[in-house]
Structure 1
Amino acid sequence: MGRTIAVLGGGITGLSASYYLSRVKAGIKKVVLVEASGRLGGWLHSLRLDSGAVFELGPRALRPAGNAGANALNLVEDLGLSAEVLPVLRSAPAAQNRFLYSKGQLHALPSSFKGLLKVGGLLSRPLLWTALKEPFVRRGSKKEDETIYGFLERRMGKEVAELLADPLCRGIFAGDARYLSLRSCLPAAYEAQRLTGSLLLGLVLARSKRDHLLEQCELVHRARAEQWAQWSLARGLSSLPEALTRAISSSDQQPYSEIVLGEPVQALRFTGNGQAEITLPESKIIADHVISCLPAHALTSILHPSLAAPLTSIQSVTVAVVNLEYPGNVLPVQGFGHLVPSSEEKGVLGIIYDSDAFPSHNRPGTATTRLTVMLGGAWFEEVFGEVGEGKRDKSREYFLRCEAVSAVVRHLGVMIPPSVVKTSVHQNCIPQYHEGHWKIVGK
């Protein structure tokens, strides 16, 4: 008799786990995917407008680099989505040009050797000079972990920490570099210093070691040959969870797959006979194995306090995403977008120039500009107030909309009003791995 496996959480992680489990032909009798909400895909959510434009309410692109990137492309090809892939080449402006908004203006971040030699503007001295001195900085006394801000300040100076580390962490984690763990958030940088004593030397040596993949599909070969920087899908990234859902639902062979929607898990209890009892509002599931793809705060609420205790220290932040569409080509520059240091503006994390990266997602037949303004993160409550659990606050959404439009005026000089505005508030969407996080997860 085969085993029953329950997968908790129907985001991209839970869907992928269920998909791969459904392909195992021996030892598994049933795979049950349980999702609390009424939709699958988690934070991947593409809004397809009647005009033909595509807005990404969450993540908008994936990177092909490393084993993780290659595995994602393997999955896309396996699901029959290869023809829908929209690559962005490393030579494209959307890959080459990234900006920082500081002191009331946009500054191009270095993307070439010439840029490293530049004096003035963003940094008071050439970044190359600071980088060349970094290998000679002594190792810190704190070897187990330290904050990203503290690490960069110690090795490359306060200016680099404030103008590069701070906005970088706001853009990637929507978090504060002064609290985020170097070891858990940037493991490559942590290992580089630990093994060689130098951040830059360690990263150079690490890049010389190519990731070994057991299987490389045609898309992986294309991505490397054509030098992709990132990619999306023709109808938005939601096509990926949609294809996974179809593949899981169409599996009528062993193992049998079942998707349970709109059923929040109320309790997870482990029985004395090695099984797990999952309590839903109107039923129970008995499973031999459980794969949790839930965020820490959700998992904490269903576990016994003795098991949940280590997870209570893992915090998450709320991010507001405001999608804007303007008539015509209104951007003063071309590129991926720009980030904003917390010293400049706490509430605005950055603005993404969606039209430059994926023009195929613009409405056809007329020139438009699509932007996404990211707001809040670790500063959300401080700037915009607390968010009630599961409640929609229309007055706050209006305030967020006004703040986003105002930021586009201030940062990019776009004076005309947007023709389309979509505001989404993603509560507790990004976990924050603070200094010492590795002790919680054991690595």
Structure 2
Amino acid sequence: MPMKTVAVLGGGISGLAAAYYLCKSPQVAKVIVLESSDRFGGWLRTLRRLDGTLFELGPRGVRPAGAVGRNTLNMVEDLGLSAEVLPVSYSHVSSKNRYLYVNGKLHRMPSGISEILRTVPPFSRPLLFSLASEILVKRGKEDDESIYSFVSRRLGKELADIAVDSLCRGVFAGDCRNLSVRSCFPPLFNAEQKRGSLTLGLLLGSGPTPQISAGPLAQRSMKESWAQWSLKRGVEALPESLSDYLQRSGRAQLQKEAAVKHIQPSASGWKVHLEDGVISADHIISALPAKALSCVLPPTCQSLIQQLQDISSVTVAVVNLEYEGSVLPVKGFGHLVPSSEDKGLLGVVYDSVPFPEHNRPSGQTTRLTVMMGGAWFQEEFGAPETVTTEHLLARATESVSCHLGVTSAPGWTHVALHKDCIPQYRLGHFRTVESMRSFIKKKNLSLSLIGSSFDGVSVNDVIFSGRTAVEDLFGGGV
């Protein structure tokens, strides 16, 4: 049955991706994207300075690996962006060198076989020992577990305290003691379930992966072994190209500053109430954050509203800094900081190393991004409403001088406060999501849930969630 009109709530990257896949389906007559802010792209935001320098305020590089990585590269190619891609290979210094700041010093993370055979500080034994003994650890009995407990049990407390604590701060800005291993790192959970061991699971594979064929760009990424990629005009060029594509498609209508007040079921699907009018839609794909969706649903969806409100998010301060000259004591991607070292400071990315193309065209400069807060924001900085940019900037520059020995002051700075930007998948998150989707099915609501609140927080994950929702809607490929 042809769907006449599909409304997409939220014009971030997942909403735009869903609209893109909808426009590829012959069964859709019209797609309406409703975005409450004055721009599309959500957390993908690039600050472009007049002299040609770029700074990322959100995600700064996308990984090409796996089915979801191939899927994004296929989209990038379809949008005509192949020539814009800036790849970073695994052999690049920023892929090989990733640091941890522990006990007041930078330590390079072991990479490569030779380095897991010997003891590398801050660890007290070779990583190979942990991996070898891991094969003998019994399978967990629970249907979910915190990342911290899972890694301590399988690989030892030291790796959990230092490496995994830092990694979860870098990826989720969250506390690995409260995050679910099943929802945050499905491959690890599945490896234990299917193979009884992470080492065996990762070597032998541990479950079905979506079948996504690799187009020429994705094939190139494998041949050249890319670790990550960006775009010449920054990551925001992706949502910009998507909205251009949608506008040219003739089937999509994009509305900015169109906050949804509430939605109510109607005979044909839904009535979507905006500030200045009502839109009728046969189906809604919601790419809104869980809490935002909970505020617009009708009272008949009380149990769904409750569960959406249970998915919390954290606030992250992102401070971009530019220094004159080459100021880094080491070359690499950046460094992460475990919570035992400094709760407020999550990590520092050395942007100029992976993407020198985004530097000022003339004269040597160093661009850095300092990430702060996350699950510790309130405790370290107080309420997001009361914190000043001066305070955040001072904390960021002080960390750069302390961790990296940079004595000069930055010549240019920018502070962004991203309120509730990364959802936290707590223990049992998978059950909450299953239960929400079964409520929608049982009540026969023409509603799909996509975006970072549900099935993964990475750029690739949320784009893929848009694709999956459209495939589920029309049963089959898009």
Q: How many residues align?
A: 431
Q: Deviations over 1:235-254 (max 9, x none)?
A: 101111111111111123xx
State how far apart, in whole Å, the 2-side matches of 1:341 and 1:424 are. 22
Compute the displacement of 1:414 (Å). 0.4
Question: For the Cα contact (< 8 Å) 2:67–2:212, is it kept in 1?
Answer: no
338-347 or 261-270: bigger deviation: 261-270
Q: Deviations over 1:211-249 (max 9, x none)?
A: 674532210111011110000000101111111111111
Counterpart of 1:429 in structure 2 is 421
Which letter maps to 1:15? L
Secondary structure in 2 aligned to 1:433?
coil
Any stretches of 5+ residues in structure 1 without a counterpart? none
Counterpart of 1:299 in structure 2 is 293
Identify which of 245, 248, 253 aligns with 2:246.
248
State how far apart, in whole Å, the 2-side matches of 1:83 and 1:269 are. 44
Secondary structure in 1 aligned to 2:135?
helix
Compute the displacement of 1:307 (Å). 2.7
Question: Is 2:373 the counterpart of 1:381?
Answer: no
Which letter maps to 2:190? E
State how far apart, in whole Å, the 2-side matches of 1:429 and 1:211 are. 28
Counterpart of 1:258 in structure 2 is 253
Secondary structure in 2 aligned to 1:266?
strand
* Structure 1 residue runs of 4 or more that deviate by more than 3 Å after TM superposition: 209-215
Which letter maps to 1:341? P
Q: How does 1:316-331 map to 2 (within 5 A)?
A: 316-331=313-328
Q: Deviations over 1:89-124 (max 9, x none)?
A: 110011111000000000111101221123252011
Q: Deviations over 1:170-208 (max 9, x none)?
A: 00000000000000000000000011111111111118x
Compute the displacement of 1:125 (Å). 1.2
State how far apart, in whole Å, the 1-side matches of 2:120 and 2:227 are. 28
Question: For the Cα contact (< 8 Å) 1:62–1:230, is it kept in 2?
Answer: yes
State how far apart, in whole Å, the 2-side matches of 1:349 and 1:397 are. 17
Which letter maps to 1:176? D
Question: Is 2:348 the counterpart of 1:351?
Answer: yes
Counterpart of 2:274 in structure 1 is 280
Any stretches of 5+ residues in structure 2 without a counterpart? 436-478
Counterpart of 2:185 in structure 1 is 186
Quick one: structure 1 residues 212 and 385, their matched pair in 2 at CA, closer, same or farther if it must change by over 3 Å?
closer
> Normalized against structure 2, the TM-score is what?
0.88
Quick one: structure 1 residues 187 and 441, their matched pair in 2 at CA, closer, same or farther if it must change by over 3 Å?
same
State how far apart, in whole Å, the 1-side matches of 2:204 and 2:265 are. 45
Q: How does 1:23-422 map to 2 (within 5 A)?
A: 23-25=24-26, 27-119=27-119, 121-142=121-142, 144-206=143-205, 213-252=211-250, 256-271=251-266, 273-303=267-297, 304=299, 305-388=302-385, 396-422=388-414
State how far apart, in whole Å, the 2-side matches of 1:76 and 1:39 are. 20
Question: For the Cα contact (< 8 Å) 2:4–2:28, is it kept in 1?
Answer: yes
Compute the displacement of 1:375 (Å). 0.3
Question: For the Cα contact (< 8 Å) 2:348–2:369, is it kept in 1?
Answer: yes
Question: For the Cα contact (< 8 Å) 2:268–2:281, is it kept in 1?
Answer: no
State how far apart, in whole Å, the 1-side matches of 2:212 and 2:231 are. 25
Secondary structure in 1 aligned to 2:73?
helix
Quick one: structure 1 residues 181 and 2, their matched pair in 2 at CA, closer, same or farther if it must change by over 3 Å?
closer
Question: For the Cα contact (< 8 Å) 1:384–1:396, is it kept in 2?
Answer: no
Question: For the Cα contact (< 8 Å) 2:315–2:420, is it kept in 1?
Answer: yes
Which letter maps to 2:430? W
State how far apart, in whole Å, the 1-side matches of 2:94 and 2:220 are. 19
Compute the displacement of 1:80 (Å). 0.7
Q: Deviations over 1:116-144 (max 9, x none)?
A: 123252011111111110111122332x0
Which letter maps to 1:19? Y
Counterpart of 2:452 in structure 1 is none
Counterpart of 1:5 in structure 2 is 6
State how far apart, in whole Å, the 1-side matches of 2:138 and 2:28 are. 53
> Normalized against structure 1, the TM-score is what?
0.95
Secondary structure in 2 aligned to 1:424?
strand
Compute the displacement of 1:264 (Å). 1.0
